[in-house]
Structure 1
Amino acid sequence: MIGVMMWRNSMRLSALALAMGLAAPAQALTMSEALTAAFNTDPVAAAALAERDAGIEVGVQERATRLPQVNAIGRMTTTDSRVGTTPFGTGYNERYNGWDASVQLRQPLFRYDFLARGRRADAQDQLAEMGFVARSQALMARVAERYLGVLQAQNEMTLAEAEAEAVAKSLGDTQKRYDVQLIAGTDLKEAQARNDLAQAQLLAAKQNVAAARDALDESTGRGHEPLAILSESTALPALTESSPESWLKLARIHSPSLLQAQAQLEVAQANVSSQRSSALPSLDFVASHGRQDDSDSRVGIAGENTAYGIELTVPIFASGANVSRIRQAQASLRSATAERDRASRELTRETQRLVRDVQTAQAQANAYARAAESAAAAEQATRYGYEAGKRTIVDVLNAQSSTVQARRTLDQSRYGVLLKTLQLKQQAGILTPQDIAAIDTLLSPAN
């Protein structure tokens, strides 16, 4: 199981690497450094730690119900007394001060749900830890998605800039040909329209880069620094396990969502036992020691007393409340059972889907790479035809757009392979900072 200690150790290593990087000359921000920054600054990370700590205390409180309880009680009083008659004569009035103090120890000896309370405490610990793991992995996936989102947006902006430059160059060439009456005016208007469209697309691409960097900055506080890039020649890694059954086996063991649903079921089972025990006898050992001083009174006393023994409590009638609470707990148990089954089925479906998504993305990346090469070759051939007078400027512009679209689709598919692989590991519950570091090895420093 991927536990909290593994996460914290991983983050310590990431923090050490970040500190070493800060001591060196400024370089591109790696994904691991972005993750470390997010863990240190993102409010979601702080909330995850706080919620885990709060959840752990629920288990501590549950175990405390089986341990001794010690209470001290103190009291000071002022008494105004009026006695009408006494065996020895007339009555009297008096006002006096008194005090008493005691310490009581109570140790539960028998509760029907003693074992159930222990199981519930363990389940609460499991809930707290799995909740932390789930939120931590969600943070990793979000940082990776936003980091890759910036890289993809930058690539699209680069393509938009190249397309705008190429279209502007074609517009200039078309204008010259029109000036010497080699082409019709419709070709010039088409080139001008494509130029306007390319400029609009470039503005949109720049806006997308700014939005992507703002999203990364929200999580890390370092979203506007230079980032490492994914080179076109970098080979993308294949899945270590290709069969959905292998991933399902991992997910059923490590998935935080399924483990949380199982822990909730165990809590519900323990609650049924606890509610049943509320209608059954309980046995406690009780010991007390106290001192009382009312000696200021004419008939007051001062002394100490110690008492200890076994206390048996037998519930007799609670107006049906106990039976109602048992029925409520049983209904909650049925709900938790159904929720566990739903989580299991959803885990199976989502895991199988993500395995297929990764495999499809890998196949698409290879196909889009060949399509990009073909589009580039077709564009070159169209340019040769245009220069020979066999093609129109519209043909050239269409070929340019096809090449840019092929490259854009290729970039999207390559980033999709990386992101979907991380999402698959998150779904299986095995995503760690080491997986983020593995992606860093595929990235190159930005120029």
Structure 2
Amino acid sequence: MIRSAVVRLLPLFIALPVAAQTLPELADRALAADPAVRATSASLRAAEERLYQARAAYGPTAHLTATSSDTRYREGVAEQARPFRSDQYVVQVSQPLWRGALYPALQAARSQLEQADGALQQARQEAQQRVAEAVLEVFKSRDVLAHATALREAYGEQLASARRSFQVGRAAAPEVREAEARVDGAVAQALAAEAELDLRQQVLVEVANGPVAALLARGVVADALPPLRADSVLDWLSRAEVESPQLRQARLAVETAEAETRKASMAHAPTVDLNASYTRSSDTGTVTSIFPRRGTSTAVGATLTIPLFASGATQSRVAETLALRDKAAGELDLARRTLVIGVRQAFVATLSALSQAKALATAERSQALSVRANQRGFEVGIKTNADVLEAQGRLFEARRDLSRARHDAWAGYFRLRALSGALGEGDWQALDAQLVAHQPGEIGRARERGGNGP
């Protein structure tokens, strides 16, 4: 069985050095292998090259043109063809003096570079959030399995006790049957929990891009909860407005669209270029001369280009960029609304999980007292075996729900940090500081503190 295999290997995991697999190191390994992070990193490099190209448009360009030709010239039908050869080399340098579209193009390239950087930051935030959720799901599934196993063992003890009581006439047959049914149900829950834990471990290994054996030997401290104030939602919204990668990308998309509009409108403007050329030519004759020639020439001048008519293409391009600007502005509003809703939902979910965890901690203590009271009542004959079984079931359900609430609170907190663009190594270090060595017998000892069967 999966649980037994994990229990057998767990001492080996505990023996591994904890520093070999801290949560910050695990997050770094996952980030290095995340496909979305690698893709956005490549996009960032491409955007850097586009910015370089936009800057290079301000500089000079040089061209070398070489021409070589062989000609055979004949004036009449009876005349013999006269061959001659011509070679020419031209070096031309051009320097833009005025091109109105260059500066908007440079602005657009800068905005695109910042957009690519924002996309990379967003990919890193989302990748870290996935790792955090995968880790916490493993911890939660492991606790669910431990509680289901402890409940199965407790029901097994109650079944054995009911059978002994039935043999001496202190219990009726229906109580034995009910105990057997509860054991069967607990076995089914344990099997389902084993399958869920196996799935969550596989997901974590895939997300973390490697084994996580040492991590399985650790767990979150039972009373550790994320630091979240109930009155801080406005602070989270303000921070998200400033630091959110999604919102930053949407703002930069508007700036890029505006720059593209200015660039398109400058297609109407004239351009001025400074040109310089050096020509070296030689030939063995021409059509009008039989004498060879060789010479060089230099030329410096300016070229003024005034656009007159482009069949409406320029106006159409301007209209297109204006429409794209409006689209970017709408997407900015949508991104802001989505972010506000997401932050509020994550905040409420985290705060709700924190409240549930605190309430369930009190409920767990009350249920433990209820189990002991029912067991004592069973010993003196005022409670039945079914009463004890029901109390134990409520106790382990409270412990299971408490574990879920605690891990859900951490998962919601990490999601809130990611949406706000603030998730980083400090959060991993804070959570890693709350991890302690996980002992397989902790749940069993907790069950014993809650009381064994009669």
TM-score of the two chains, using structure 1 as the length reference: 0.87
Residue of structure 2 equivalent to 1:34: 26
Give the Cα–Cα distance (whole angstroms) in 2 for the partners of residues 313 and 192 of structure 1.
95
1:163 and 2:165 matched: no
Q: Are 2:37 and 2:120, in contact at CA under 8 Å, matched by a contact in 1?
A: no
Q: For residue 74 of structure 2, give the secondary structure of its aligned residue in structure 1.
A: strand
Residue of structure 2 equivalent to 1:404: 396
Q: For residue 52 of structure 2, give the secondary structure of its aligned residue in structure 1.
A: helix
Q: Are 1:244 and 1:355, in contact at CA under 8 Å, matched by a contact in 2?
A: yes
Give the Cα–Cα distance (whole angstroms) in 2 for the partners of residues 138 and 316 of structure 1.
51
Residue of structure 2 equivalent to 1:316: 308
Residue of structure 2 equivalent to 1:199: 187
CA deviations 1:222-269 (Å, max 9, x no partner) are: 23434321122x442423794222222211211111110011001100
Shift of 1:117: 2.2
Q: CA 1:337 to 1:91, structure 2 compared with 1: closer, same or farther past 3 Å?
A: farther
Which residues in structure 2 correspond to 1:315-334 (within 5 Å)? 315-334=307-326
Q: Are 1:226 and 1:446, in contact at CA under 8 Å, matched by a contact in 2?
A: no
Q: Are 1:242 and 1:355, in contact at CA under 8 Å, matched by a contact in 2?
A: no
Give the Cα–Cα distance (whole angstroms) in 2 for the partners of residues 395 and 94 of structure 1.
122
Shift of 1:147: 1.1
Q: For residue 284 of structure 2, give the secondary structure of its aligned residue in structure 1.
A: coil
How many pairs are equivalent? 419
Q: For residue 309 of structure 1, give the secondary structure of its aligned residue in structure 2.
A: strand
Which residues in structure 2 correspond to 1:110-189 (within 5 Å)? 110-189=98-177
Give the Cα–Cα distance (whole angstroms) in 1 for the partners of residues 346 and 385 of structure 2.
44
1:225 and 2:217 matched: no
1:283 and 2:272 matched: yes
Which residue identity does 1:55 align to in structure 2?
A: A
Shift of 1:162: 0.5
CA deviations 1:370-429 (Å, max 9, x no partner) are: 111112222222222233333333322222221111111111111122221221111111
Residue of structure 2 equivalent to 1:368: 360
Which residue identity does 1:264 align to in structure 2?
A: A
Give the Cα–Cα distance (whole angstroms) in 2 for the partners of residues 258 and 241 of structure 1.
25
1:433 and 2:421 matched: no
Q: For residue 385 of structure 1, give the secondary structure of its aligned residue in structure 2.
A: helix
Shift of 1:140: 1.3
Structure 2 unpaired stretches of 5+: 1-14, 440-454
Q: Are 1:153 and 1:205, in contact at CA under 8 Å, matched by a contact in 2?
A: yes
Residue of structure 1 equivalent to 2:381: 389
Identity, % of aligned positions:
30
Q: CA 1:91 to 1:216, structure 2 compared with 1: closer, same or farther past 3 Å?
A: same
Q: Are 2:47 and 2:109, in contact at CA under 8 Å, matched by a contact in 1?
A: no
Shift of 1:369: 0.8
After TM superposition, the structure 1 stretch with the greater mean CA deviation from structure 2, 39-48 or 198-207, is 39-48
Residue of structure 2 equivalent to 1:99: 87
Which residue identity does 1:225 align to in structure 2?
A: A
Give the Cα–Cα distance (whole angstroms) in 2 for the partners of residues 36 and 145 of structure 1.
15
Shift of 1:324: 1.2
Give the Cα–Cα distance (whole angstroms) in 1 for the partners of residues 390 and 85 of structure 2.
104
Runs of 4+ that moved beyond 6 A: none
Shift of 1:197: 1.4
Give the Cα–Cα distance (whole angstroms) in 1 for the partners of residues 272 and 230 of structure 2.
56
Structure 1 unpaired stretches of 5+: 1-23
Give the Cα–Cα distance (whole angstroms) in 2 for the partners of residues 300 and 339 of structure 1.
70
Which residue identity does 2:309 align to in structure 1?
A: F
Give the Cα–Cα distance (whole angstroms) in 2 for the partners of residues 307 and 432 of structure 1.
60
After TM superposition, the structure 1 stretch with the greater mean CA deviation from structure 2, 407-416 or 221-230, is 221-230
1:292 and 2:284 matched: no
Q: Are 1:241 and 1:247, in contact at CA under 8 Å, matched by a contact in 2?
A: no
Q: For residue 429 of structure 1, give the secondary structure of its aligned residue in structure 2.
A: coil
Give the Cα–Cα distance (whole angstroms) in 2 for the partners of residues 26 and 167 of structure 1.
37
Give the Cα–Cα distance (whole angstroms) in 2 for the partners of residues 75 and 164 of structure 1.
92
1:215 and 2:242 matched: no
Residue of structure 1 equivalent to 2:8: none
After TM superposition, the structure 1 stretch with the greater mean CA deviation from structure 2, 47-56 or 235-244, is 235-244
What root-mean-square deviation, in Å, do the aligned CA atoms of Structure 1 and Structure 2 show? 2.4
After TM superposition, the structure 1 stretch with the greater mean CA deviation from structure 2, 174-183 or 157-166, is 174-183
CA deviations 1:167-189 (Å, max 9, x no partner) are: 11112222222334433322222
Q: CA 1:344 to 1:40, structure 2 compared with 1: closer, same or farther past 3 Å?
A: closer
Q: Are 2:140 and 2:403, in contact at CA under 8 Å, matched by a contact in 1?
A: yes
Which residue identity does 1:42 align to in structure 2?
A: D
Give the Cα–Cα distance (whole angstroms) in 1 for the partners of residues 424 and 47 of structure 2.
22
Identify the match of residue 84 of structure 1 among 75, 86, 92: 75
Shift of 1:299: 5.7
Give the Cα–Cα distance (whole angstroms) in 2 for the partners of residues 307 and 91 of structure 1.
40
Q: Are 2:230 and 2:351, in contact at CA under 8 Å, matched by a contact in 1?
A: no
Q: For residue 333 of structure 1, give the secondary structure of its aligned residue in structure 2.
A: helix
Q: CA 1:299 to 1:411, structure 2 compared with 1: closer, same or farther past 3 Å?
A: farther
Q: For residue 84 of structure 1, give the secondary structure of its aligned residue in structure 2.
A: coil
Which residue identity does 2:415 align to in structure 1?
A: Q
Which residue identity does 1:231 align to in structure 2?
A: V
